[in-house]
A and B are shown apart, each in its own frame.
Chain A
């Protein structure tokens, strides 16, 4: 795995040609700017099938924007997002919509539908995209809720749940359709350390028990090291480095070391 440590990782194989070494997700030279401000500046990244990649970076580094590119919620100005050999950036809207069935995404604050109960939230995609009977849907919903250690919350409305519970319902909703790829947007933000560790535990359990590829973005390094197979550092819209956790900790880059130690940057280092 030593070769995994890269400064802008060269892509293995040809993701568009699909030559057998195709990564699950390939991000190829992606650029994005909003109102003239460049947020992503030539991102190259690949995620192999079954791995858990955690993208870390400071506030405003472009993490959420990058994650939303992966599922096609944002289209890049330049570059390609290739999922299972299919270029999401060139695909028709209908193809994009269908491709999203491969994904499950958990949002920062859960993004639960507040007009629906917990049960209806988790059952939403099942009712929309499958022909399952109501009893089958109920069984699947309970299975998903059990996986995130939630019981007896079916009838509750999102407003009645704590922050940690909302995130876990979001996880249950994301896995309901048995997706191949799971995306987590800042799963620990705003949670206390104990709840945060419990959330990490649920993510690790899902990583180990489900046949999924996972991409998580966070700025919480302890959480990143708990759930990652590889960690990628994003800074000022560029990938600074990608490495397995044990190698990431000892990377000689000054910014990464300060990020790990939680130290402020010198004035000349601030972008």
Chain B
């Protein structure tokens, strides 16, 4: 028989809901750190599967080039378009190159590349591992005396963490080039002044800190994707849920950690 709908019951239900949300949050955090810890542990164990690492690096790095390149280039172009029109009002067009290069290297290239890869790689990691879980392929690995975290998760996390910085470096270059193309080609800025201002205020630390951010974001999105996939339950529907959750969670965690990383690094 259903309990009577009294104010006391409503209060109990309210606290039950808060309790279950808190429990869910702790479970998610626990799974993330379990996968992170296990990945670090198994990375230094034999056998070292070089072919798998290479395959995953191609998948994360080479296959992501078009989407990362396009995103970075158009972001640089829009940045130049927006800032040029704004700076024009107080005759500071010469500083467009500085603004584009600084904002891209320190912030936009790492964050946007990571968000694009959260959609492209984080989701596919969750879907791939989730499908393997629900079709018992992960159990089959255990049954063949193979630790799935070692065989499946380590190469995927390592490849994503290692490939994000080079992708972001490329995004930096393409974004700056996009800004240059729009400023000089479309808006008639002086090319010499544009390059001079681009590099006048750009420090190597700006680039390096962006690349450090990129590595951390790569670790976050790959561990989140693997954790969501590895602990998938509930068949095809569960795989769908895991895939969506992987993208949402890794995007949110990337944006949150971006604040703290920026505070620490700059």
Chain A interface residues (CB < 8 Å from chain B): 68, 71-73, 97-98, 100-101, 103-105, 107-109, 111-114, 124-125, 128-129, 173, 177, 183
Contact = CB atoms under 8 A, between A and B. Distances in A.
Interface string B109-136: 0000000000000000000000010011
B135 A111 contact: yes
Interface string B136-148: 1101101111110
B137 A111 contact: yes
Contacts of A68: 139
9 contacts: A71-B142, A72-B142, A100-B144, A114-B137, A124-B144, A125-B144, A125-B145, A128-B146, A129-B145
Contacts, number: 53
A228 to B, nearest CB: 22
B39 to A, nearest CB: 15
A109 B135 contact: yes
Nearest to B147: A97
Contact of B145 (A98, A107, A114): A98
A73 B142 CA distance: 7
B143 A103 contact: yes
Given A100-B142, A103-B143, A114-B135, 11 more contacts: A97-B147, A98-B145, A100-B144, A100-B145, A107-B136, A107-B143, A109-B135, A109-B136, A112-B140, A113-B140, A128-B144
7 residue pairs, one from A and one from B, having the closest CB atoms? A111-B136, A105-B143, A100-B145, A111-B140, A125-B144, A101-B145, A107-B136
Residue among B132, B135, B143 with the highest chain A CB neighbour number at 10 A: B143
Secondary structure class of chain A's binding surface, majority of residues: mixed
Given A109-B135, A111-B135, A128-B47, A97 B140 contact: no
Contacts of A124: 144, 146
B149 to A, nearest CB: 11
A128 B51 CA distance: 13
Contacts of B145: 97-98, 100-101, 125, 128-129
Contacts of B47: 128
B118 to A, nearest CB: 22
Contacts of A101: 145
B137 A73 contact: no
A173 B146 CA distance: 14
Contact of A73 (B132, B139, B146, B147): B139
Interface of B: 47, 132, 135-137, 139-140, 142-147
A83 to B, nearest CB: 13
A97 B142 CA distance: 7
Contacts of B139: 68, 73, 107, 111
Nearest to A125: B144
Contacts of A73: 139, 142-143
A97 B144 CA distance: 8
A170 to B, nearest CB: 8
A104 B135 CA distance: 18
A71 B137 contact: no
A169 to B, nearest CB: 12
Given A111-B135, A128-B47, A105 B140 contact: yes
Contacts of A125: 144-146
Contacts of B142: 71-73, 100
Contact of B136 (A100, A108, A128): A108
Contacts of A72: 142
Contacts of B137: 111-114
A128 B144 CA distance: 9
Contacts of A128: 47, 144-146
Contacts of B136: 107-109, 111
A143 B147 CA distance: 26
B207 to A, nearest CB: 37
Contacts of B147: 97
A7 B137 CA distance: 35
Nearest to B146: A128
Nearest to A103: B143
Residue among B47, B142, B145 with the highest chain A CB neighbour number at 10 A: B145
Nearest to A108: B136
